[in-house]
Structure 1
């Protein structure tokens, strides 16, 4: 569990906002940032599905910008985009 952080006026800061200021995140910070459980993150790292660093062979770290890129490369098309891709695929098959 991450420590509670406060601004200069004593108000509690959302931990995800604090994480936006960091370049390298610990395992628990990365889980908070992505809103996933540690067990799910361990599955992603052990399967080498998500980019991560383990300099000591035990502790796991993540580069925040790489997590952003990983999330964004897994886009799900909306129905219009899917229809356009399907049309393009079928058109290409007819010409071969």
Structure 2
């Protein structure tokens, strides 16, 4: 394969990857493979998380696992880490409410 064809194949593969990613964002329910693509996690990590019941999932049959995209997103964002400016802003807002008599 010459260099021009190789570049074209690479471009097409990148376009396919982008289409796959766009399709994932539109899906409401993921299977294990979808979740792996969405998060970049290994199958082993996904199975460990489900086995330990650390991640929200459904298992309507004896073998298949399903994951609701919105619940996964909520779970992924449940323990945010704030930067210094955000922490200072939150602290100031809390102190302001406390001094105004609001909890």
TM-score for the superposition, normalised by structure 1 = 0.68
Please identify which structure carries the higher strand content: 1
Distance 1:43 1:85, change over 3 A: farther
Greater Cα offset, 49-58 or 68-77: 68-77
> Cα distance, 1:13 vs. partner?
4.8
> Which of 73, 76, 98 is the equivalent residue of 1:68?
73
Matched, 1:26 2:28: no
Larger Rg: 2
> Cα distance, 1:42 vs. partner?
0.7
TM-score for the superposition, normalised by structure 2 = 0.63
Distance 2:40 2:56 in 1: 16
Distance 1:83 1:38 in 2: 39
Please identify which structure carries the higher helix content: 2
| Residues matched between the structures, number | 79
Distance 2:75 2:55 in 1: 7
- Root-mean-square deviation (Å): 2.2
Unmatched segments (≥5 aa) in structure 2: 1-14, 95-103
| Residue of structure 1 in register with 2:101 after alignment | none
